[in-house]
Amino acid sequence: MKIHREGYLIIAIGLFLLALIQTGNYFLFQFTGWLWLFILLSIGAIVMAYLIIQFFRIPNRTCSFEPNDIFCPADGKVVVIEEVEETEYFKDKRIQVSIFMSPLNVHANYAPISGEIGYVKYHPGLFLVAWHPKSSTDNERSTFVLKHENGQEVLFRQIAGAMARRICYYVQPKQKLQTGEEFGFIKFGSRVDVFLPLDAKINVKIGDMVQAKITKLGELK
């Protein structure tokens, strides 16, 4: 396991502030002698430090895939699988698969297929809760389209949630990605939507807990 580069500064600031709080806690204990309060605040500081660090963790995972495999781009829970009208890029019907990422999930995002980036678009917007039906179109979001070597295209979208206030991505048009290659990161709770061709095989169901680079979302025909 390693720590994602997006977390270096936040972790440093968080640990510094917690150290200041703990220093104050120590002097409070020296003044009052309240051991129970000192222990309680110390446990709270340790828990907060753990939560900050674990949010930016990146587990060691190997992605083994076949050419037409579609892998989950994010850790989380499958909350939507439905046929929808995709209005930003395809402007036709697609199968939407949405993965909700809680603050306890790994928040790095990975390419669901191999191919060339053909479209990148950032949209400012609202910060509705990530499971809200309109979050896919109204929230702050970034949209990407990967073109597979067989000619099919897959659209995937990072969506900010009520707690997510920064979407990070590291790709640009014409860039080639391999399945499971990191393309972005979302800070503090969010959602990722994937829009697949109607004839794509879906291997997951609503309510499934999935892992990026490990769970096979489906297959392209």
Q: What span, in angstroms and rounded, lies between the C-alpha atoms of 146 and 75?
A: 20
Catalytic residue among 98, 114, 142, 190: 190
Is residue 75 within 8 Å of 66, Cβ to Cβ? no
Find how far residue 209's CA is from the centre of its chain: 13
Cβ neighbours of residue 140 closer than 8 Å, sequence gap 6 or more: 123, 124, 125, 126, 127, 159, 160, 164, 167
- Taking alpha carbons only, the member of 75, 92, 56 closest to residue 168 is 56
- Taking alpha carbons only, the member of 181, 186, 43 closest to residue 103 is 186
Q: Of all helices (H) and strands (E), which one includes residue 136?
A: helix 135-138
- Using CA atoms, how far residue 51 sits from 10, 36, 46, 48, 144, in Å, is 12, 23, 9, 5, 30
Annotation says 190 is catalytic: yes
Active site residues: 190
